[in-house]
Amino acid sequence: MTDQDDLLRRAAHALPGGLLGNHRSGAGLEFVVKEGRGAYLWDMNGRRYLDYLLGSGPMLLGHAHPAVVEAVERQVRRGTSYMLLNEPAIELAEEVVRAVPCAEQVRYTSSGTEATFFALRVARAFRGRDKIMKFEGGFHGTHDYGMMSVSPRSPKAFPAPTPDSAGIPPALEGDVLVAPYNDLATAEALIATHHDALAAVIIEPYQRTIVPAPGFLPGLRAATRRYDVPLIFDEIVTGFRFAYGGAQEYYGVVPDLAAYGKVMAGGFPLACVAGPRGVMRHFDAALEGTPEYVWQAGTFNGNAIACAAGLATLAELRTPGTYARLHRTGARLRDGLAAAVLKHGVAARVSGEPPVFDIVFTDRPVVDYRATLTADRERIKRFNAELLRRGVVKAVNKIYVSLAHTDTDVDETIDVFDRALAVIAEST
């Protein structure tokens, strides 16, 4: 038995499902990571993989980037955790405020789930209302509000939510409205009808790998502003990935609040809520004991090591030409996948923007969550497994592109796409 086989056996015994979270590569081809460098992972047997999972997105610079490693090593010699103000935390907050159009202040959390949860809580405190509206298929972390209508197999009529997890109190369903993504008319009508009860509207501006339709985000911004309902952008994925200012810069629409994570911490557990002083004031401990105060704290929030990694990451991203290079690499990869789909005559759509996209095995345009329900789920599992057999790792439903991926890596990956889709086509 190899070391890797032994570790997998031990994981199956010690961890539910033998996994971290719910990421399963598929087809019994699980492996244990020994090392990550640049665009590559190595397993315990020494096999190399091209990595398009990137830790579920944070590793935009690639693994073990020298500037990030140096910053972390420098900081770790000064201590690991204080739960007190520290210079890296202050400097990173200042940089986020400079970068993010909606940000005047920042409140740190340790995960994206916490960031969206507290964005909703502070919006409720500011607005003095309880209900929220989200979009079907949108993922905002694993808190009770976030796990509504993320992936329902039998969706209800709008705006009724469907809980996606056991353990969510049924009473919470009454406080969540669900709208169809990219359907501005329905979203506007729901906001008009329910605005008196709405605390906020939360949205992934780029929902999973679905591109916003022309006019959708500006129209949503106008509708929420019309009724003074805070608009929250969940930029956990898009922040510092689509542009330095995130989706707000990329799509030219500025929300009232935003949640950031993943890229901003360079691979360490850190996220934040960013917004204007008038809303963020509710986090101020000077309000403790008043009905306006939002209690929020965490042992590792603003951790100096994570903030140092984030500062080093953002400094690299400010290098001129960085985003043009990222989009160029992603476009080559995305277009190569689309060309392979056409070559093999497979019923599939390649959906998304160059920095993160995926293939959806359907012949229907992918404009909202319900379009994805027409996809062949077995084919995406087979496709992912065929990639993995050939040394390419991706998320279950995303291909993340990094700045570490070279033209040679892209050529190799496109060849793997071609061979994997040939297998899919033969099995039709």
Q: Write out pLDDT tens, residues 178-198.
A: 999 999 999 999 999 999 999
Residue tagged 């998304």 (tokens):
352
What percent of the chain shows pLDDT beyond 70? 97
Q: Inform me whether the pLDDT recorded for 109 exceeds 90.
A: yes
| 118 close to 279: Cβ distance less than 8 angstroms | no
pLDDT at res. 2 = 65
Q: Which residue in 225, 209, 182, 145 sits closest to 380, CA to CA? A: 209
pLDDT band at 107 (very low <50, low <70, confident <90, very high): very high
Distance CA 100, CA 318 (A): 13
pLDDT at res. 24 = 58
Burial 334-361 (b: 16+ CB within 10 A, else e): bebbbebbeebebbbbbbbbbbbbbbbb
pLDDT digits (tens, 9 = 90+) for 161-174: 999 999 999 999 99
Q: What's the whole-number average pLDDT of the chain?
A: 95
pLDDT at res. 161 = 97
Distance CA 142, CA 139 (A): 8
pLDDT at res. 28 = 47
pLDDT band at 13 (very low <50, low <70, confident <90, very high): confident
Map out the domains of the chain with their CATH numbers: 3-64+321-426 (3.90.1150.10), 66-317 (3.40.640.10)
Q: Inform me whether the pLDDT recorded for 46 exceeds 70.
A: yes
Mean pLDDT on 82-102: 97
pLDDT digits (tens, 9 = 90+) for 280-333: 999 999 999 999 999 999 999 999 999 999 999 999 999 999 999 999 999 999
Residue 78 φ/ψ, nearest 5 degrees: -100, 0
| 369 close to 148: Cβ distance less than 8 angstroms | no
Residue tagged 């033209």 (tokens):
407
pLDDT band at 27 (very low <50, low <70, confident <90, very high): very low
Question: Could you tell me how far CA 62 lies from the centroid of its own chain?
Answer: 17
Burial 12-40 (b: 16+ CB within 10 A, else e): eeeeeeeeeeeeebbeeebbbeeebebbb
Residue 157 DSSP SS3: coil
